[in-house]
Structure formats: C-alpha cells, structure tokens
Amino acid sequence: KAGVTQTPRYLIKTRGQQVTLSCSPISGHRSVSWYQQTPGQGLQFLFEYFSETQRNKGNFPGRFSGRQFSNSRSEMNVSTLELGDSALYLCASSSARTGGRGSWVQEAFFGQGTRLTVV
Amino acid sequence: SQQGEEDPQALSIQEGENATMNCSYKTSINNLQWYRQNSGRGLVHLILIRSNEREKHSGRLRVTLDTSKKSSSLLITASRAADTASYFCATDAIASGGSYIPTFGRGTSLIVHP
C-alpha cells in the first residue's frame, strides 16, 4: 500500500508570493490533516478535511487555506507569504476523521513533508 | 500553548541502555499517541493508548498512562543507534466549538550512541 505522498519536497518562495502544497493520502483514507512544524512552535495543527469538507481548524490566519478533492487528495495554500511561514509542512491521512466525541482513535500516517523556505 | 509537553527535551544514552521519556498534558483526553520523527522527515506512529488503559507494549516500547496525573511515559528498552530520533506525544485536545483536534508536544530529542 503506497504511503502518504507530499509534493513538492522542497520549495523556496519570496515574501508576498503564494504557494500551493499537495498531499495524496493512503488509498481509502478520507481524512487529511495539515500541520506546520517549526523549531520555535513545534507541531501546530492547521486544519483537517474529511470527505471534501473542512471539519476542524487550528489557530492560523486566513492566509492559510486548503481543500480536498473527491479522490481525497488535498491541497494547502498559503497566500502573501511571510518569513515566519518558513517551516516543514506535514500532512497526515487517517481512515477516521478527527472531530467529534470519542474521535481520533485511528493512527495518523504522515507524509515526508514539504520544506518551505520564504526569503 | 502546547497541550502535551515532553520531558526531557533532550536525552543522550549509550546503545543497550533504556530510554524513558515523559509527557504531561493539561486537559482530559480520549487517547494519547506517541510518534517518532527522524531528522526533518515525517512522523511515524508508534503506539496509541486509550484513556481507560494504563499500560501498553509494542516490541521494545512500553507506554504508561496516568490520567490522574495527566501524564504518560514512553520507555524504549535495549536502545539501538537506529532509535535516534525525536519523540512526540499527541493528544486529542478539545478545541473551541467542542470538536477535538490533535495536539502535539515539542518532543524529546533522543540520541543513542553506538
């Protein structure tokens, strides 16, 4: 079974630009979550999509957005990039959604991440 | 602020020794998970322990959960150089609006010297 695939692996962008990252989950998984990892803040939850709907959202500004397609592939977009957006962006897929009582009892499978550098 | 906080931040041991990492969290949880991350790469799931469980084993890994103290520990026995990585605990913290979001600690960096 193929794992979670994130593209591209590395990206360098200039301040003010926008960027789109892609995540292909494990076949059959309908939940895709996105995380930002930085040395200072650690792993921060961005949002989760389940069956093309955003179900949960972390505490990030509106410049961070995402979507999920009918085949469960997900994209994350960051507009008007800032230097502080430099980070490793990880996506994780799961067979269960994260929201709701008694949720998140399934393990999440992570991709290798996209290393974004904003200069 | 982080829901889970690992302790110690860094741990350096010799191959063959045991490594113990601790995680403390603030709010009640349904379950807690431990992940490993090799340098700059994705996270690998190690073990999930539910709130009604006290101990769980997986190979050389032993996880305990004490909900009264809001803490968990991860023990790696007979460590190997390949265990060198960062280890994170993650809990399902309640977000505003009542839904659960996964929340990770800052991690323990483990170095195992051959």
Q: Render pLDDT for A19-59 as a digit per residue (tens, 0 to 9).
A: 999 999 999 998 899 999 998 888 898 988 988 998 888 88
Question: Residue A66: pLDDT above 60?
Answer: yes
Q: What is the CA radius of gyration of chain B?
A: 14
Question: Residue B111: pLDDT above 80?
Answer: yes
Question: Residue A78: pLDDT above 90?
Answer: yes
- Alpha helices, H only, A12-79: none
More confident residue, A47 or B85: B85
Quote the CA–CA distance of B22 and B70 in Å, as a whole number: 11
- Residue A9, min C-alpha distance to chain B (Å): 10
For position A50, what pLDDT does the model report?
Answer: 86
Amino acid code (one letter) for A49:
Y
DSSP annotation of A84 reads G
CB proximity under 8 Å: A 24-53 to B: 33, 35, 42-43, 45, 48
For position B7, what pLDDT does the model report?
Answer: 86
| Residues of B whose CB is below 8 A from A108 | 33, 43, 45, 102
For position A71, what pLDDT does the model report?
Answer: 94
Q: Which of A86-90, B6-10, B72-76 has the lowest mean pLDDT?
A: B6-10
Question: Residue B101: pLDDT above 80?
Answer: no
For position A101, what pLDDT does the model report?
Answer: 47
Structure tokens of B100? Answer: 């659960």
- Residue A92, min C-alpha distance to chain B (Å): 9
Test the B interface: residue of A4, A47, A104 with most B CBs within 10 Å:
A104
Mean pLDDT of B93-102: 62
DSSP annotation of A25 reads P
The burial class, CB within 10 Å (0-12 / 13-18 / 19+), for A43 is buried
Which range scores top for mean pLDDT: A3-17, A102-116, B4-18?
Answer: A3-17
Quote the CA–CA distance of A37 and A103 in Å, as a whole number: 23
Mean pLDDT of B3-25: 91
For position A102, what pLDDT does the model report?
Answer: 44
Mean pLDDT of A74-97: 92
Structure tokens of B82? Answer: 């390949």
